[in-house]
Structure 1
């Protein structure tokens, strides 16, 4: 029996022997692909090659690609095959070989390498793909009666673009795995016939009208799920029963104190948690952080779903760290990022698991309130829409809701739950479809590819002679552009740095004999060409004009100073806070720098001062900045820090600042740290769970900031009527005087409140033997209102007090029931009903509660309702 590790290695070795370049799995974060949140298939990293946006550096490749898909999240754990994270084995041809090789190698692999019996295999082909059918029969030697037509065997990258027919290989797992129906065959919903490999023949391109045109260079894209083929080779009924999952499941079961295969319901939870924890580990390993949107939201949702399912089997304490240890030991040899980024992964697991407890408790409270409301109404079923709201907002799976409600004898309206769920899923799919089909300037991309890569000379010089290779107005190619027009321009050679790696693009000018244009923006196209957005300021600029492209030197200097400062800042942070600090994004511009990094608490003033002093010490040391290109292995040997989650090529650019900082970077830098002058940190703040942000200025911007502070101090000194050196002392004296005045005002307010309280006691009325005081009073804030209610409680001794006040357009209410539980009355329930009349809400304990409102004009009306509310509660 082959292990999952062996099957992964066997596949990759087989195709390496067939001349394929072995490529490591790309990140789960798709590179330069705005249409995808996550890498969802093995072909995703190669899309630019298939679409010829970039010329492939090798003709064929093989990979085991990490993938995450979530459209069928609800089916995970309930079927044998659905996963969020999975490994996709694949072989790819970029205009090299085509159908014959793809088909014959696939057949050779399944029948001769892993030795699946031919009489258990079935092949499907597209009905019109006669070529593939003939190859399967005549070249691969497959019996014609093992081939079936399937009209769905057609793959497309989207509504337009590359597409083509495909062939699928199925394995018959035997009658015992089937549904028993006489017509059970390929395509049946049962588990008997399992698709193990899909071969896509990318031979057409489809235009907007739906017309198919043969591609000049045809491609191959195949995919075999490692989990599926492992389950087949190990002879188990589910992917979860393979050695890829069993160690994880066993650890979860151990923590829960249960056994796998004892209880089907608990088995589902074990499968969900094992699947989700794999996805969590690999997403964190690639630098994805939990957040409230994008791929971070996907990660957070999966993580919370794992924690919720853990509760279903009795795991209430943090457990993800223990599961990660198992995943790391199982997969780190194939995916070293699980080891390299261990601290980052563990820190986020701990923080996110801890933070979710608060959300879970909040959702539980809402559910309990709902139970109480249903019981009062004599109902025994919760609305399906409410159940879905709990799922979508607070992360409660419907199974958890059902379990909690079952203890109270309440069921869930599953029909309406499913309707709400389906409506949400359709909306999500439509959003996804719109994202994938978003327009790109393909005319510009194709023209750039035709012209070839732009030569970037900006590292060595700030101006160069070149010529206008193409101009575009939107998606239309034009021959010229006149004064006032904005156009996109392609140059064969440029000194302008294109926006990349957090560094903004250079600005400057393009000048010909007859025209001048301002360079507003520079971006990189998929093939590496630079696209310049120009505003023509004078004359007419024409295609083929000889021009001088010149970078604004002052702006470049400021950008370089800020970029070099981020390198010094990164190293200083790691030195002061610890090696767990990793860059999580940056912005480098002429005006300032912004640096995001992983750290799990706010920095103290002392830490910030130490970091700032360390940076400026290295600036004063005038460290030489040396830049060299080398292979990745040599860069690692030199201790170069790579940007977390970034994928680098074989050759990398290493920026070294003395012995202090060594990083991989493609940006522009100073030649000596002394050129920076000075760095001043402006702020440090939190921007998300486990993420901090520092903003700072360097060079002349730092000097301008210091001058502005000096001017502010001088103005403060004038206001305080003190010499600049005495301002702090004078401000301290004034603050003390202000505090004394505030205390005096507070005493006066207390006396006024006491006086007012004594004068409203005549408004007390008796309702069914209970003393009730409801009155509008003068109180500047909620604290004053509470103090007034305390005074009245002492005087009234026993009864109900409801006070209302308005201040600065806000409504405040306080209710007191003394003694607590008097005649069954509840202060929180009383105040909730009163506040509702002013458009507010609130609640609290049985003895004291407070609330807010929106409409001050309705305070008296709300208080007038108190007798009726009390009567209703007293029955």
Structure 2
């Protein structure tokens, strides 16, 4: 049974049983504390926690998920993959344990000709909480499961919770016995006797209790929830390899075609070699994961989600290289994954041009990285060998990995080819330190998220009413005050607190638009609004500083947005839509916005594009945008169901999460039609003017434009006009003659610089003869040390040192020159063949000199340099070289 068919049967089965069939949410998690959607229940967390009322009593979905915490195990086990799909069915105060168990058993065991999966019920084992008698009775008495196949476990092994006070409950986990060829038989109250025989394919979570404070599983159960919930997850890939009779998830129909294509490219055969099998599985998994991540709007970068995608793509390319493939691999592999996934996700085929452009660009960039990284690695290896060592330092391997994206296993492989080992432990220690820093950051974010208990209490009376679309001043009531995550009754002058109103005109930061500024007055208190956020859906939180008086919970208040701030914000946000539409008009529909930020007077917009915009293209985009402004296009908005908005052609931005009811903003009708919750002008002419100020790369396949709008744009143009006026007066030309005159001045300046450089080099070479004549015998060699003074560049110092060395003949000789280049002290050391035969190495001596300068250095045995920060230490640096030479 094909994976797409397993998926269809899941949705059909629960759809026929009155479940709302909910489409998969984006892989980009709406929860700021996690990067990706990591489980099928993530989109339903607010309904399970009770912070939001579920729009349906029961639901079903097949959710796209990404997990990368165990990426090193990908390809090595039957169960680990980065991208996977989780079949889920959910109940919010509707059916509970008996219903969930019946559904799971029926769909699992019903014959395939009747719409089920046809699994053998006699081979299904179930693990339960040892106190869950209700589930045990349903399984053994109603369904007829052999009691020996029901394993009862303590709470620490069979319980779900969020890690903080809130819902919790036991699980019922369904395992399938794959047969004796996969491992020993279960016995002694366990379904984990070793091997891959018993595969957990479905987990039923019963959200039954309210848990209290505590760490790990050591917390009290405070009682049963008023509204119980069901959250189940069945691994689609696991069911697929069970039903398709495959060994593991890599061999199912949505994954294996990429392995077959990689076999064809590499000439390696799957099943012939353990390490090659791992590499082929890594390629198949990571190519599919990358396809789906880019499809959901992630672009490669050096942080966050983009870094995870970059790592997946680079691991794919690296694995193909280790399989012997040096040519670009993704143009062969990515289309195969697209075709395998399109039956379930047709959007990856429809959007393939954009997806492939980003993926291929990243591969090209990494291939260049491999070239530069190889050069750096070769240099490091040569230095180790020249110093008589046999191990590449861990910090060098880490720098290759962290700075250049050079994989550690490639470093290990290439170092071994040249007879060296790598200090893997040192590398691992540095990696561990980096992960701990990242983990601490994630913990801090999670802690901030967890502190929302007080905010959830303030959300219970209802959502904050936003009045800012139609008014800037609103009478309201202070619902509550929060300081350091704790509800407080009063805030005094000088304090900064979070304040929640029942009604507000203040726009909370979202959709790329910065939050509003303004004042709130309450019972004589004046509060400056510093920030406005929406940490919980439906709750607007104002961060305020108490300027005068004191404010109490329950006080009547007047919230007033700064009208100048709001006008600038409206101009900038509408300007963002106009620039987006202009980009699509000039470049084509593929130039889709992938992110934005706007505040009064300024906007930036990231969009999918794989090359820099020429000056002519930038001018054209700017002209199209300003023509639209001059045409005084109408700006309107309306609410409609999300499917209707998509059919209407409204653009939904990658990574954004939308409700079923959405707000569509139009500028000039269909010319600009986007889903947006921001504040906007009434007519495009109110934007004033748009002036593009910059365009740059923000990652592979992604560009960024920046612009000023309104008065800020006018001020920018005025500054440029003043600059042009100053230049024309200085150069005595008309404005239109400026480019030619400036080009002439620059050309003459370059010629003068060349002439000066020639004169300077001549002076240095004239000094070479005198320095060579002054060489003194020190230890095994003739030695020249000299402090040159200020030089234009290190190249001048190098030229002089090589000239002096050449004048010293075949006898062992060494030259050490010190100088200041670009305000930094530097020492250049050069040795001839005789000196090197005597054991004098330029690299080691340059490093020694650099230590005296408070810096570092090194290089080859014949020529090397070192630098630092303390120019006054140049005499000491040269003396250190002299002393080392004297000691031989």
- Provide the TM-score with structure 1 as the length reference: 0.89
SS of the residue 2:679 aligns to: coil
Q: Are positions 1:38 and 2:53 aligned together?
A: no
Counterpart in 2 of 1:154? 159
Counterpart in 2 of 1:763? 774
Counterpart in 2 of 1:239? 249
CA contact (8 A) 1:24 1:64 kept: yes
More displaced 10-residue stretch of structure 1: 771-780 or 250-259: 771-780
> 1:787/1:485 Cα in 2 relative to 1: closer, same or farther (>3 Å)?
closer
Counterpart in 1 of 2:825? 811
Counterpart in 1 of 2:113? none
Displacement of 1:45 in angstroms is 1.2
Displacement of 1:195 in angstroms is 1.1
Counterpart in 1 of 2:225? 215
SS of the residue 1:505 aligns to: coil
Q: Deviations along 1:688-712, whole A, 9 cap, x unmatched?
A: 4443332222122222333344455
> Matched residues in 2 for 1:14 and 1:643: separation?
32
Counterpart in 2 of 1:852? 867
SS of the residue 1:50 aligns to: helix
> Matched residues in 1 for 2:594 and 2:282: separation?
30
Displacement of 1:537 in angstroms is 4.5
> Matched residues in 2 for 1:482 and 1:410: separation?
66
More displaced 10-residue stretch of structure 1: 521-530 or 5-14: 521-530
> 1:627/1:530 Cα in 2 relative to 1: closer, same or farther (>3 Å)?
same
> Matched residues in 1 for 2:419 and 2:803: separation?
45
Q: Trace 1:242-391 onto structure 2 (pairs within 5 A).
A: 242-365=252-375, 367-368=377-378
Displacement of 1:123 in angstroms is 0.9
> Matched residues in 2 for 1:709 and 1:415: separation?
56
Task: Identify the match of residue 195 of structure 1 among 200, 208, 226.
Answer: 200
CA contact (8 A) 1:388 1:421 kept: yes
SS of the residue 1:760 aligns to: helix
Q: Trace 1:483-494 onto structure 2 (pairs within 5 A).
A: 484-494=494-504
Displacement of 1:506 in angstroms is 2.4
Q: Deviations along 1:530-576, whole A, 9 cap, x unmatched?
A: 22334445555555554443333222221111111111111222233
CA contact (8 A) 2:779 2:887 kept: no
Counterpart in 2 of 1:62? 60
Task: Identify the match of residue 78 of structure 1 among 76, 79, 103.
Answer: 76
> Matched residues in 2 for 1:568 and 1:507: separation?
24
SS of the residue 1:572 aligns to: helix
CA contact (8 A) 1:3 1:243 kept: yes
Q: Deviations along 1:439-462, whole A, 9 cap, x unmatched?
A: 544344333332212232322233
Aligned-pair RMSD on alpha carbons? 3.7
Q: Deviations along 1:555-607, whole A, 9 cap, x unmatched?
A: 22211111111111112222333433222322221232222223333333222
Q: Are positions 1:785 and 2:790 aligned together?
A: no
Displacement of 1:41 in angstroms is 0.8
CA contact (8 A) 2:771 2:804 kept: no
> Matched residues in 2 for 1:36 and 1:865: separation?
53
Displacement of 1:50 in angstroms is 1.0
> Matched residues in 2 for 1:727 and 1:378: separation?
63
Displacement of 1:274 in angstroms is 0.8
CA contact (8 A) 1:825 1:846 kept: no
Counterpart in 1 of 2:122? 119
Q: Are positions 1:175 and 2:180 aligned together?
A: yes
> Matched residues in 1 for 2:747 and 2:439: separation?
61
SS of the residue 1:489 aligns to: strand
Counterpart in 2 of 1:670? 681
Displacement of 1:376 in angstroms is 6.6
Displacement of 1:311 in angstroms is 1.5
> Matched residues in 1 for 2:302 and 2:586: separation?
30
Displacement of 1:413 in angstroms is 7.3
Displacement of 1:438 in angstroms is 3.8
CA contact (8 A) 1:641 1:663 kept: yes
> 1:352/1:831 Cα in 2 relative to 1: closer, same or farther (>3 Å)?
farther
Displacement of 1:344 in angstroms is 3.2
Counterpart in 2 of 1:619? 629
SS of the residue 1:758 aligns to: helix
SS of the residue 1:105 aligns to: helix
CA contact (8 A) 1:771 1:800 kept: yes
Counterpart in 2 of 1:140? 143
Displacement of 1:194 in angstroms is 1.3
CA contact (8 A) 1:504 1:589 kept: yes
Displacement of 1:684 in angstroms is 2.5
Displacement of 1:320 in angstroms is 1.7
Task: Identify the match of residue 506 of structure 2 among 496, 505, 510.
Answer: 496
> Matched residues in 1 for 2:65 and 2:295: separation?
13
Q: Deviations along 1:594-638, whole A, 9 cap, x unmatched?
A: 222233333332222222222111111111112222333443344
Displacement of 1:117 in angstroms is 1.5
Q: Deviations along 1:324-376, whole A, 9 cap, x unmatched?
A: 11111111232244234423322222222222234434554565556556667
Task: Identify the match of residue 169 of structure 2 among 158, 164, 173.
Answer: 164
Q: Trace 1:539-554 onto structure 2 (pairs within 5 A).
A: 541-554=551-564
Give structure 1 stretches of 5+ with no counterpart. Answer: none
CA contact (8 A) 1:161 1:205 kept: yes
SS of the residue 2:820 aligns to: strand
SS of the residue 2:318 aligns to: helix
> Matched residues in 2 for 1:599 and 1:363: separation?
27
SS of the residue 1:777 aligns to: strand
More displaced 10-residue stretch of structure 1: 476-485 or 183-192: 476-485
> Matched residues in 2 for 1:366 and 1:746: separation?
31
> Matched residues in 2 for 1:412 and 1:751: separation?
46
Displacement of 1:673 in angstroms is 0.9
> Matched residues in 2 for 1:414 and 1:738: separation?
52
Counterpart in 1 of 2:4? 5
> Matched residues in 1 for 2:814 and 2:395: separation?
38
> 1:618/1:819 Cα in 2 relative to 1: closer, same or farther (>3 Å)?
farther
More displaced 10-residue stretch of structure 1: 393-402 or 318-327: 393-402
CA contact (8 A) 2:780 2:835 kept: no
More displaced 10-residue stretch of structure 1: 831-840 or 569-578: 831-840
> Matched residues in 2 for 1:416 and 1:844: separation?
23
Give structure 2 stretches of 5+ with no counterpart. Answer: 111-115
Q: Trace 1:573-584 onto structure 2 (pairs within 5 A).
A: 573-584=583-594
Q: Deviations along 1:76-115, whole A, 9 cap, x unmatched?
A: 1111111111111111112222111111111111121212
> 1:734/1:774 Cα in 2 relative to 1: closer, same or farther (>3 Å)?
same
> 1:402/1:467 Cα in 2 relative to 1: closer, same or farther (>3 Å)?
closer
CA contact (8 A) 2:151 2:189 kept: no
More displaced 10-residue stretch of structure 1: 734-743 or 632-641: 734-743
More displaced 10-residue stretch of structure 1: 76-85 or 296-305: 296-305
Counterpart in 1 of 2:761? 750
Displacement of 1:801 in angstroms is 4.4
Q: Are positions 1:93 and 2:96 aligned together?
A: no
Counterpart in 2 of 1:17? 16
> 1:678/1:187 Cα in 2 relative to 1: closer, same or farther (>3 Å)?
same
> 1:454/1:430 Cα in 2 relative to 1: closer, same or farther (>3 Å)?
closer
> Matched residues in 2 for 1:71 and 1:244: separation?
22
Q: Are positions 1:526 and 2:536 aligned together?
A: yes
> Matched residues in 1 for 2:886 and 2:589: separation?
66
SS of the residue 1:626 aligns to: strand
Q: Deviations along 1:810-835, whole A, 9 cap, x unmatched?
A: 12344556789986999864665465
> 1:156/1:266 Cα in 2 relative to 1: closer, same or farther (>3 Å)?
same
More displaced 10-residue stretch of structure 1: 518-527 or 428-437: 428-437
> Matched residues in 1 for 2:872 and 2:515: separation?
56
